[in-house]
């Protein structure tokens, strides 16, 4: 049996991807070959030698020690796009919440209970909660990946004038964008032109604190900002100062913190972006499929530390080698296998940064001694025989 350890409750539809006759799946597993996780923090977890991969049912991997996994030849997967529609729908709601004080109005209406002639009080007091329509306003979208692209397209359909900026946009995501989305040359242009700005980028060293005093100064007075991506994107004191001065009209975030709670102009949503049954199911299925395909075949899709790789099986046996991305690795591995009497039918190799993977198919049996000789090659991190 192949052991898979759960660190969170994972949707049953995702667990059903793993054949119960081949996989033992439980939170009680001691020496797993795979881990399925959502939000549990794995940074202090000691990984066993048998662990081959960690699959996160979600896009961010801040809770996973990716560098340590790479050192041990553990492939880390995420599920980009699986929860994109759920976040997109919340972003549409955030645009409306940023425009009108809908939440404040609802809370005020509750306070009228028991008072005489509520209808007259409503008509008298509703002006306190007015705000602009989004139609005809300019939305700047920072990050045009799976989620940002869907938000940009939805905003176009709602009648907004949309500009986007993403220096790292993929060809695939570019093809999915509406022709109505205009390209900003850089963030500064987007800041200067946008009435609303929404962020859909990861929290990495280059983006942490990007919503800061310097960049806010480049924005329009009364700008409305939406951050459903990561709390770390926000420099909280700078945003509070800008809200108090009126530079920012409203700040909608899916990542509340103590300093922001209760600040006028802040709409704090309790991290609901992917909190839909559909998103949880999609992420679970995608994570489980990626974990299964790697463990069984060495196929990699959506890994944050290893390259994408896939090869149809052309022989009875498969050798998967994770290694450092340095010269002459393939020739050394092939040489060792050949010396052990293993004839290679086909092979494929891919690299990503300092990490690489090679897959060899053979009809010959790969002995434990042959695998051990490959493991001894300097730069080889792990070998798997299937």
Rounded Cα–Cα distance for residues 32 and 46 (Å) = 12
Q: Mark which of 268, 291, 319 sits at the end of a domain.
A: 268
Mean pLDDT estimate for the chain: 96
Beta bridge partners of 357: 322, 350
Same domain, 216 and 227: yes
Looking at the structure, tell me whether residues 95 and 228 fall in a common domain: yes
The pLDDT value recorded for residue 380 is 97
* 299, 319: one domain: no
Higher pLDDT, 59 or 1: 1
- What CATH number is attached to the domain comprising 53? 3.40.50.720
Q: Are 383 and 372 in contact (CB under 8 A)?
A: no
Ramachandran class of 300: left when φ > 0, alpha when ψ lies in -120 to 50, beta otherwise: beta
Lookup: tokens for 333: 């591995």
Confidence band for 375, pLDDT divided at 50, 70 and 90: very high
Given a cut of 90, is residue 58 above it in pLDDT?
no
The domain of 314 spans 307-386
- Output the pLDDT for position 202: 87
58 and 111 in a single domain? The answer is no
Tokens 């926000």, located at residue: 234
pLDDT at site 180:
97
Residue at which a domain ends, from 268, 296, 318: 268
If pLDDT is split at 50, 70 and 90, which confidence band does 377 have? very high
Domain shared by 124 and 146, yes or no: yes
Q: Which of 249, 268, 287 is the last residue of a domain?
A: 268
In this structure, the answer to whether residues 156 and 249 fall within a common structural domain is yes
Express each pLDDT in 143-200 by its tens digit.
Answer: 999 999 999 999 999 999 999 999 999 998 999 999 999 999 999 999 999 999 999 9
Residue 94 sits in the same domain as residue 233 = yes
Check whether 80 has a pLDDT greater than 90.
Answer: no
Number of domains observed in the structure of the chain: 3
Provide mean pLDDT across the span 276-298.
96
Spatial distance between the Cα atoms of 83 and 94, rounded to a whole number of angstroms: 17
- Average pLDDT in the 324-353 region? 96
Residue 322 predicted with pLDDT over 90: yes
144 and 244 both lie in a single domain: yes
Query: What's the CA gap between 348 and 337, in Å, rounded?
Result: 15
The percentage of the chain sitting over the pLDDT mark of 90, rounded to a whole number, equals: 94
The answer to whether residues 212 and 242 belong to one domain is yes
In this structure, the answer to whether residues 226 and 320 fall within a common structural domain is no
- pLDDT tens digits, residue range 209-218? 999 999 999 9
pLDDT digits (tens, 9 = 90+) for 110-134: 999 999 999 999 999 999 999 999 9
| Mean pLDDT (whole number) for 369-385 | 96
pLDDT at 161: 98
Please name which of 247, 244, 184 lies closest in space to residue 219, comparing C-alpha atoms: 247
Confidence tier at 94 by pLDDT (50, 70, 90): very high
Same domain, 64 and 90: no
Report residue 59's pLDDT band, with 50, 70 and 90 as the boundaries: confident
Residue 204 has pLDDT above 90, yes or no: no
Strand runs labelled E in the chain: 2-6, 23-26, 34-37, 53-56, 75-77, 138-142, 161-165, 182-183, 196-199, 223-227, 248-253, 266-268, 317-324, 344-352, 355-362, 380-385
Same domain, 119 and 235: yes
């Amino acid at each position: 049996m192949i052991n898979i350890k759960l660190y969170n409750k994972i949707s049953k539809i995702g667990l059903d991807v793993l054949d119960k006759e081949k996989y033992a799946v439980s939170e009680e597993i001691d020496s797993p070959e795979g881990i399925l996780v959502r939000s549990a923090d794995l940074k202090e977890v000691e990984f066993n030698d048998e662990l081959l991969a960690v699959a996160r049912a979600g896009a961010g991997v801040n809770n996973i020690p990716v560098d340590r996994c790479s050192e041990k030849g553990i492939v880390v997967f995420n599920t980009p796009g699986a929860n994109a529609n759920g976040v997109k729908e919340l972003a549409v709601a955030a645009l409306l919440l940023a425009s009108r004080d809908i939440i404040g109005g609802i809370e005020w209406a509750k306070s009228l209970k028991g008072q005489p002639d509520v209808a007259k009080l409503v008509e008298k007091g509703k002006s306190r909660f007015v705000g602009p329509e989004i139609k005809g306003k300019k939305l700047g979208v920072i990050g045009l990946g799976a989620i940002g692209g869907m938000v940009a397209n939805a905003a176009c359909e709602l009648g907004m004038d949309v500009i986007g900026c993403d220096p790292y946009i993929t060809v695939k995501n570019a093809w999915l964008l509406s022709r109505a989305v205009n390209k900003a040359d850089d963030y500064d242009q987007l800041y200067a032109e946008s009435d609303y700005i929404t962020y859909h980028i990861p929290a990495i060293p280059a983006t942490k604190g990007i919503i800061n005093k310097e960049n806010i100064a480049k924005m329009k007075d009364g700008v409305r900002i939406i951050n459903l991506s990561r709390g770390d994107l926000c420099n909280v004191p700078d945003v509070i100062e800008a809200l108090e001065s009126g530079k920012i009209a409203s700040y909608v975030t899916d990542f509340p913190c103590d300093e922001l709670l209760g600040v006028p102009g802040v709409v704090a949503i309790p991290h609901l972006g992917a909190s839909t049954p559909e998103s949880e199911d999609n992420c679970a299925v995608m994570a489980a499929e990626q974990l299964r395909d790697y463990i069984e075949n060495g196929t990699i899709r959506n890994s944050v530390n290893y390259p994408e790789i896939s090869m149809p099986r052309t022989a009875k046996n498969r050798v998967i080698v994770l290694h450092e991305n340095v010269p002459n690795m393939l020739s050394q591995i092939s040489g060792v296998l050949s010396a052990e009497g293993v004839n290679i039918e086909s092979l494929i190799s891919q690299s990503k940064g300092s990490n690489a993977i090679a897959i060899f198919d053979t009809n010959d049996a790969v002995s434990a001694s042959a695998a051990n000789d490959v493991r001894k090659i300097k730069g080889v991190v792990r070998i798997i025989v299937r």
